[in-house]
A and B are shown apart, each in its own frame.
Chain A
């Protein structure tokens, strides 16, 4: 294959990575932005989404599209509920103290991981794509499902944006983020908002996982990479800035895809991590963040 088509293929792969990463990272960014909680267990919510998707799909039977559609609905709800309960049982009791919540979410990470290992097992299991049509370019064939992943991610992110800017719940979340105490003085039930935000963040990671699991398979250790990349994206984008997070996800995802295709996935991770180090040194508020944090 010539360089041109090869780059085209690499960009497509990069776009898929970017789409899934944007969803995952926006979940992490939302939780940090509103609650000031650094959620180390975020990757496990991603993994939980994939595992629940496998369960749902394997029980659904019939056409793969039925199982997939059900998974798209059930996995984020289950994962979000687990997260909301964890918020209520653990984070709330720590009064959302920044340091102690980091330790607590590390604990949560292992609890979720080991629970999945004991119940779901160590195997990697695939979920069948809802459709499997290939589209043929002059140089190579490509799965239309991957285009669906990109489209679905864009649609979900648009939904998140509408939720934040056009709804009362979005207004309440933004007010809580800006000034928790004053929000309380205006009858905003901050505890409930926090539980919902934590659930919503986890649900976004789960959605991303459902989208990727027909391509990547569900495995109990699959949460590591999404966690690392989400952190990279959130730091580059500016902590708590949703728009910055999305731009950074596209940047990191595309370059990850392209570098992985041309060189190696490891080099891609090395470069992304190096980029974070540079951002932290020269622009600690992130590329799009505000200075005062």
Chain B
């Protein structure tokens, strides 16, 4: 469904990605692993068109997203949950969701469905997003992206700084979305947080691909992880 073919991207003069290739199918969780500064967040920004892709292609069902305006990309049903959540802090919970709903013109049916997944948000609809707890903020960032009714979902370190109960909730949601046929690209730093749900794991280093392996193989042999991450 989503396919990155040898993309280069960066910030201003500095090229950060030197040819990244990935492929995520519908109903699959591809986990992107790599050390701090490897280029995981940059890869997601390149997919969303937030930084220019200077070479290669970002293909969604054959269409090259690198050639369309950034604000058109989410309308292709791509939901993005940025690192650090990036909520509209001064807006209320309801307004943050409204921004998500407006992307593809969804209405109260979608909103209700999403709120059923995160009942805590329903109690806080009129509260400013910046005043939510860390876990609630992550719920809202996820809910906002789900308001797009995404076919592809990009999650950048969604469990960063969360309590175990909240991590479990986020994982349940991700697994549920996979069952619904969503193509999921998941970035994590901690291997143990993803090994149990990922289908495949792509390792990246210094803006370049290393191997992509089946998660089952990693689960069977933990020493592989140490080798790829060099820890």
Contact = CB atoms under 8 A, between A and B. Distances in A.
**Does chain A bind chain B?**
yes
Interface of A: 168, 171-172, 174-175, 178-179, 181-190
Most buried by A among B49, B75, B86, B88: B88
B91 A185 contact: no
Contacts, number: 61
Contact of B88 (A178, A184, A187, A190): A178
Given A184-B49, A185-B70, 10 more contacts: A172-B102, A174-B91, A175-B99, A181-B86, A182-B86, A185-B74, A186-B144, A186-B148, A187-B74, A187-B75
> What secondary structure prevails in chain A residues at the interface with B?
helix
Interface string B62-104: 0000000111111100001010001011110001001110111
Contacts of A183: 99
A174 B89 CA distance: 10
A174 B102 CA distance: 14
Contact of A189 (B71, B89, B104, B144): B71
A3 to B, nearest CB: 46
B48 interface: yes
Contacts of A181: 50, 86
Contact of B102 (A168, A184, A185): A168
A171 B99 CA distance: 8
B84 to A, nearest CB: 10
Contacts of A168: 98, 102
- The list of the 7 closest CB pairs from A to B, nearest first, reads A187-B103, A187-B74, A182-B86, A189-B71, A178-B88, A185-B80, A184-B70
Contacts of A171: 91, 95, 98-99
18 contacts: A171-B98, A174-B88, A174-B90, A174-B95, A178-B91, A179-B86, A179-B88, A182-B82, A185-B73, A185-B74, A186-B74, A186-B99, A186-B100, A187-B71, A187-B74, A187-B102, A187-B103, A188-B99
A186 B103 contact: yes
A187 B95 CA distance: 15
B155 to A, nearest CB: 13
A138 B69 CA distance: 66
Nearest to A177: B90
Most buried by A among B48, B70, B104: B70
